[in-house]
Amino acid sequence: MNRFLLQGFLLLALIPIGLLIGYGFLVMGPIICWGFAINAYRANNDKELYFWLFIGLIGFSLPCTYLEFCNS
What confidence score (pLDDT) does residue 32 get?
Answer: 86
pLDDT (0 to 100) of residue 68: 60
DSSP for 22-40 reads: HHHHHHHHHHHHHHHHHHH
Residue 58 confidence (pLDDT): 84
Global confidence as pTM: 0.59
pLDDT of residue 69: 58
- Return the SS3 of 3: helix
Task: Let me know if 60 is exposed, middle or buried by CB neighbors in 10 A (0-12, 13-18, 19+).
Answer: middle
pLDDT reported for residue 43: 94
Stretches in the chain below the pLDDT threshold 50: none
- Return the pLDDT at 62: 75
